[in-house]
């Protein structure tokens, strides 16, 4: 009987040791995102940044697996795309903001909120396409993008009339939360550029229908 007890105890200790050892191995491994990076498909932002830069440098239109993964990653890829908005490489920023705009064109949820601040910062980007995509994305986010309203309102006077129109459209999508932009929109209703006039009036109707007047 004692021999059976000793044998059982020995087996138990062995199982315990294996379990502890396995746990230690797991703890010693660097889990995805251990350094604070967001991950997608088990790979951190730094991986996607490097892979995307390389793919863009190769400029191959027939094979773009990195871009395909980022474009079709759904909501899971948003944190990585948001990280890429701040990249120093213009081509990377363009891809990131374009894919985010595509993602948000559906029904953006709370996972889109972290994009508001970096998208707002990109409204001052040197590149017109980046600025247009950024304001469009903020418009898709809608009422939750209210913090961006002052920056968006400033774009109503941009020399590019379609960027100004994008800004008015975004403010309209933000709705009553964009009330702070009403004076700028009312001024834009007198803009000599018709697309800007139309966009401003439409935005005012969405923010407060009593404020919108006819387009002259």
List of long-range contacts for 106-110, beta carbons under 8 Å, 24+ apart: 108/140, 108/141, 108/142, 108/144, 109/75
Residue 23 has pLDDT above 70, yes or no: no
**CA–CA dist 84, 96 (Å, integer):** 6
Q: What confidence tens digit (pLDDT) does each residue in 41-79 have?
A: 999 999 999 999 999 999 887 779 999 999 999 889 999
Phi, psi dihedral angles at 145 (to 5 degrees): -95, 25
Which residue, chain included where needed, has tokens 């508001």? Answer: 116
Question: Which pTM value belongs to this model?
Answer: 0.80
pLDDT band at 216 (very low <50, low <70, confident <90, very high): low
List of long-range contacts for 156-162, beta carbons under 8 Å, 24+ apart: 156/181, 156/184, 156/185, 156/187, 156/188, 156/191, 156/196, 156/200, 157/188, 160/128, 160/132, 161/193, 161/195, 161/196, 162/132, 162/195
pLDDT value of position 35: 62
**CA–CA dist 178, 170 (Å, integer):** 9
Give yes or no for a contact between 163 and 128, defined as CB atoms under 8 angstroms apart.
yes
**Structural domains of the chain ordered from first start:** 43-211 (1.25.10.10)
Q: What confidence tens digit (pLDDT) does each residue in 149-197 have?
A: 999 999 999 999 999 999 999 999 999 999 999 999 999 999 999 999 9
Phi, psi dihedral angles at 2 (to 5 degrees): -65, -35
**CA–CA dist 185, 84 (Å, integer):** 32
Q: What confidence tens digit (pLDDT) does each residue in 113-155 have?
A: 999 999 999 999 999 999 999 999 999 999 999 999 999 999 9
pLDDT value of position 124: 97
pLDDT value of position 11: 41
């Amino acid at each position: 009987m004692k021999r059976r007890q000793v044998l059982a105890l020995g087996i138990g200790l062995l199982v315990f040791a294996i379990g502890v050892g396995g746990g230690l191995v797991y703890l010693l491994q660097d889990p995805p995102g251990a350094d604070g990076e967001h991950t997608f498909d088990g790979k951190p932002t730094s991986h996607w940044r490097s892979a995307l830069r390389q793919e863009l440098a190769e400029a191959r239109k027939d094979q773009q697996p990195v871009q395909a993964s980022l474009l079709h990653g759904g909501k899971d890829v948003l944190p990585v795309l948001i990280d890429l908005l701040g990249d120093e490489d213009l081509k990377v920023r363009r891809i990131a903001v374009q894919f985010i705009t595509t993602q948000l064109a559906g029904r953006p949820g709370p996972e889109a909120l972290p994009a508001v601040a970096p998208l707002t910062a990109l409204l001052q980007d040197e590149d017109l396409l980046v600025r247009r995509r950024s304001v469009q994305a903020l418009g898709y986010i809608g009422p939750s993008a209210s913090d961006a309203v002052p920056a968006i309102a400033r774009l109503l006077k941009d020399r590019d009339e379609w960027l100004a129109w994008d800004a008015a459209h975004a403010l309209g999508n933000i709705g009553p939360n964009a009330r702070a932009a009403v004076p700028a929109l009312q001024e834009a209703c007198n803009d000599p550029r018709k697309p800007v006039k139309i966009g401003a009036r439409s935005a005012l109707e969405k923010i407060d229908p009593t404020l919108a007047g006819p387009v002259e």
